[in-house]
Amino acid sequence: MNKVGLALVQVLAIAISVLFLPSMSLAQDEQTSWQKPTPIFKQEYDWLRLSSDEWLKGDIISMYDEELEFDSDELDIQKIDWEDVAELRSKNWQSIRMLDGTIAEGYLVVKDGKLSLVKNGQTRHYELANLLSIASSGQNERDLWDGYANIGINLREGNTVQFDYTFTAGMQRRSASSRFKTDYTANYSKYKDQDTNEKKVTANSDRLTSTYDWFFSQKMYLRAMDFEYFSDEFLNIDRRIRYGIAMGYHLVDNKTTTWDINAGPSYQKTYFKDVEDGESNTEYSPGLVLGTDFTYEITRDIDYDVSYSIQIVDEASGELIHHFETGLEVELTSDFDLDLTFYADRTEKPKKDGDGIVPEQNDYRLVISLGYDF
């Protein structure tokens, strides 16, 4: 290469260095100094950061059994394992319950493995490992409530004309130290005889239950109210009313399985629809109620539930009264579920009607229903 060509190459190399090396150095400096942005915490939202470093904004519903329910502004209601929560900030007061029974409320901040409550300008710190539950504060009464409604309908036309429905609905109020729950079930069925056009009812029953539980330790609770209203035309019961109290215990309580048992005294009044001459249509009886509730999370969207109770009363009131429910709840969307439920009821000593006919001891039914959660 001649001297002129070598000089041109050197000039070109110097020009490239002058033009590009400063920008390359600047890019390296920017890459070295870049830090992830901190979100702006708008007061109209609760904020949740997952262990994957993703942020969600929305509303805290509650935290029970190592599971946080969070109503995301974009993704609707999400159930998140507590171990996946890296940071949590509330826009309103939240109520917390600790393992030692301590209950406190204030603006909630969970960060870097620490729990803080800010109230009236003062910050108090708590051991995050001892946290039992989170619920909306009593100042936010509306946030303490949730509910559901399910309907299952069977319609037949043609050679058989039949109409069946099962309707269930309920509401629940949960705070950090208590739980009020009420549930209602109605079962009705009728068919029309094609020869006589006569309509005949084949099932007609109602059941309303209400309980109030006060949690005074991690494992035990007092069922301060246990109420049931029941009627069944074909069991010859116009209405049956039971009052009681009970003690409850958590046998298993983890992120996939809960299993509770409870037992306590009760008092029952039964009014029969029709009785034989000389028989009383009203019976009163003290009793004992034993119950258990089991829930297992098969997958994130499928739950399996079992509930069983037995009432021990005197012979005139039925002697032994069993109620059993089990089934699957499949989450279709954040608000809608598909439920498959099996019901079984047994009365050991049913009351004869006015014609001397003894009702069947056992009743069974399998119901497929669509549910809405609110």
Does 193 or 206 have the greater pLDDT score? Answer: 206
Tell me if 326 sits within 8 A of 362, measured CB to CB: no
Question: What does the pLDDT look like over 30-73, one tens digit per residue?
Answer: 455 555 555 565 678 899 999 888 999 998 888 877 788 888 87
- Does a structural domain hold residue 14? no
Q: Are residues 187 and 232 in the same domain?
A: yes
The SS3 call for residue 139 is helix
Q: Are residues 104 and 159 in the same domain?
A: no
Q: Are residues 77 and 186 in the same domain?
A: no
What is the band of 155 on the pLDDT scale with cuts at 50, 70, 90?
Answer: confident
Tell me if 62 sits within 8 A of 82, measured CB to CB: no
- Does a structural domain hold residue 33? no
What is the band of 311 on the pLDDT scale with cuts at 50, 70, 90?
Answer: very high
Give the domain extent around 57: 46-136
Q: Are residues 176 and 115 in the same domain?
A: no
Distance (Å) of CA 347 to CA 41, 329, 361:
58, 28, 5
End-to-end, the C-alpha distance of the chain in Å comes to 84
Query: CA-to-CA distance for 291 and 179, rounded, in angstroms?
Result: 17
Give the CA-trace dihedral at 40, 41, 45, 49, to 10 degrees.
90
Name the domain boundary from 136, 156, 175. 136
Q: Are residues 110 and 173 in the same domain?
A: no
What pTM value is reported for the model?
Answer: 0.72
Q: What is the pLDDT of residue 33?
A: 56
Share of the chain above pLDDT 90, in %: 47
Does 220 or 197 have the greater pLDDT score? Answer: 220
Please count the structural domains in the chain. 2
What is the band of 326 on the pLDDT scale with cuts at 50, 70, 90?
Answer: very high
- Does a structural domain hold residue 243? yes
- Does a structural domain hold residue 361? yes
Residue 234 has pLDDT above 70, yes or no: yes
Question: What does the pLDDT look like over 179-199, one tens digit per residue?
Answer: 899 999 999 998 887 777 788
Q: Are residues 125 and 50 in the same domain?
A: yes
- Does a structural domain hold residue 158? yes
Question: What average pLDDT does the segment 201-230 reach?
Answer: 91
Query: CA-to-CA distance for 74 and 77, rounded, in angstroms?
Result: 9
The continuous run of DSSP H or E covering 121 comes out as none
Which residue shows structure tokens 């029709």?
274
- Does a structural domain hold residue 320? yes
Query: CA-to-CA distance for 241 and 269, rounded, in angstroms?
Result: 5
- Does a structural domain hold residue 6? no
Q: Are residues 120 and 192 in the same domain?
A: no
Share of the chain above pLDDT 70, in %: 86
Residue 175 has pLDDT above 80, yes or no: no
Q: What is the mean pLDDT of the chain?
A: 85
Q: How many CB atoms lie within 10 A of CB 144?
A: 21
Q: What is the pLDDT of residue 187?
A: 93
Q: Are residues 222 and 248 in the same domain?
A: yes
Question: What does the pLDDT look like over 271-308, one tens digit per residue?
Answer: 999 988 888 899 999 999 999 999 998 988 899 999 99
Name the domain boundary from 136, 154, 189. 136
DSSP 314-345: -GGGTSEEEEEEEEEEEESSSSEEEEEEEEEE
Residue 127 has pLDDT above 60, yes or no: yes
CB-count exposure of residue 288 (10 Å: 0-12, 13-18, 19+): middle
Name the domain boundary from 111, 136, 161. 136
DSSP 20-58: HHHHHHHHHHHHHH--PPPPP--TTSEEEEETTS-EEEE
Q: What is the CATH number of the domain that holds 237?
A: 2.40.128.130
Q: Are residues 184 and 272 in the same domain?
A: yes
